[in-house]
Amino acid sequence: MTDADTAASDEQVEGTFLVTAADDTSAVLKNVESGQVHTLSSNPGVERNDVIEGTVSPDPPMNVSYQLVETVSRRSLSIGRSEEPPTAHSEELAAAQDVGELTREPREGIGEIHVITVPDDGTETAVDDVLEDEEGLLSRAARLGVNRVEIRSSPGVLSVRYLP
């Protein structure tokens, strides 16, 4: 390890963190911007799928684990599959693009909608694939500042809604 590496590991890190694992004694935080993972040496009361905006600091002397030293905000995230079909607007977006294409649009207010056109007979598989990427969905939700991810589908159309 170089002197620069040592100096960098001694520094506090501010950011938005997704709690990817948590138990009674520790937690794992992932910085949603950089992807850097921080293992906390104790659990300050966070739960899996929480989003923490705050600061972590390495534990001396080895600097291999961290403490959450400041919490600016905390919120819980959820992912759900809706029985509702995609909106008419999402259906229009899907109709205007080729199979396999993705359109991202900001929602009014806060959030974003992703519309993916898929083969009609592959819609359920596509929904399952999207739902399997839980950490990716939650990290994106954390970056967007929303609380909920909702998946809607109809044959050939998959809509991922990032909602407040």
Q: Which CATH class is domain 3-76?
A: mainly beta
Structure token pair of residue 114: 């992703």
Identify the band that residue 9 occupies on the pLDDT scale cut at 50, 70 and 90.
very low
User: 111-164 pLDDT, tens per residue?
Assistant: 999 999 999 999 999 999 999 999 999 999 999 999 999 999 999 999 999 999
User: 47-67 pLDDT, tens per residue?
Assistant: 999 999 999 999 998 889 999
**Strands (DSSP E) along 82-147, which ranges?**
102-106, 112-117
Identify the band that residue 81 occupies on the pLDDT scale cut at 50, 70 and 90.
very high
> Domain ranges in the chain?
3-76, 78-163
- Residue identified by tokens 């207010």 is 109
Collapsing DSSP states into helix, strand and coil, what is residue 139?
Answer: helix
The answer on pLDDT for 8 being more than 70 is no
Per DSSP bridges, beta strands 37-40 and 50-58 are: unpaired
**For residue 61, is the peptide bond before it cis, meaning its omega torsion is within 30 degrees of 0?**
yes
Q: How far apart are CA 157 and CA 90, in angstroms?
A: 8
